[in-house]
Chains A and B, each alone.
Chain A
Amino acid sequence: DGGITQSPKYLFRKEGQNVTLSCEQNLNHDAMYWYRQDPGQGLRLIYYSQIVNDFQKGDIAEGYSVSREKKESFPLTVTSAQKNPTAFYLCASSIIAGGSTDTQYFGPGTRLTVL
């Protein structure tokens, strides 16, 4: 069963704690992305990576960190510096970043709730 997976599906965190969301893909895609989705809003880009060991900040990177040590994996850490972390987090991948007909494939998402 190929594709892009995220874990866990639901995550609860106490204020002040860091938490890491997992994203794995076996599509052999070079590019990976993290988005945040809030009710009634479009997806907002947190970070993206075009290649292993390289990543770029998106529109709302403050309070988040990522790593890209392997092509298949792009974990997202939500730090205690993120002021309003409760949201639905989506990971995506694409063959390359910015190809004219390149499609992003999304994982099932992780719903993070800060208690």
Chain B
Amino acid sequence: KNQVEQSPQSLIILEGKNCTLQCNYTVSPFSNLRWYKQDTGRGPVSLTIMTFSENTKSNGRYTATLDADTKQSSLHITASQLSDSASYICVVSRSGGSYIPTFGRGTSLIVHP
């Protein structure tokens, strides 16, 4: 069964600290992996997208990594800000005709001043 598992479920950090969120998947055959940020009560917004050949991609203070061999990805947030408080969702798409990606349940991040 194609699944996407995220950890931790929730995380609380102090402003200015770094953190890393994890995503493990069993989706196969793999096409791409995206990280989305979802503010409370809003729609998700894409942060990064990585295909099989990419193992690191950055978007400002956000850096995503991908290990397609172990089927793991991480999202590293540097120098966290209060506005980083949100849910971060890992989404994996299959190749070969399946149009619909598989969503993880998300990691809820709270950044305290």
Contact = CB atoms under 8 A, between A and B. Distances in A.
Contact of A103 (B43, B46, B89): B46
B105 interface: yes
Given A101-B32, A109-B42, A109-B43, A42 B98 contact: no
B15 to A, nearest CB: 26
B95 interface: yes
A115 to B, nearest CB: 20
Contacts, number: 56
A108 B31 CA distance: 27
Contact of A101 (B43, B49, B97, B106): B49
Interface residues of A, number: 27
Contact of A50 (B34, B46, B51, B99): B99
B34 A90 contact: no
**6 smallest beta-carbon distances between A and B, as pairs:** A106-B43, A98-B99, A42-B103, A97-B99, A43-B103, A42-B105
B49 A109 contact: no
A58 B49 contact: no
Contact of B100 (A42, A48, A109): A48
Given A98-B99, A108-B42, 19 more contacts: A4-B43, A31-B99, A42-B103, A43-B89, A44-B103, A48-B100, A90-B43, A97-B99, A98-B98, A98-B100, A100-B93, A101-B49, A103-B46, A103-B49, A104-B46, A105-B46, A106-B43, A109-B41, A109-B42
B82 interface: no
A41 B105 contact: yes
B45 interface: yes
B100 A58 contact: yes
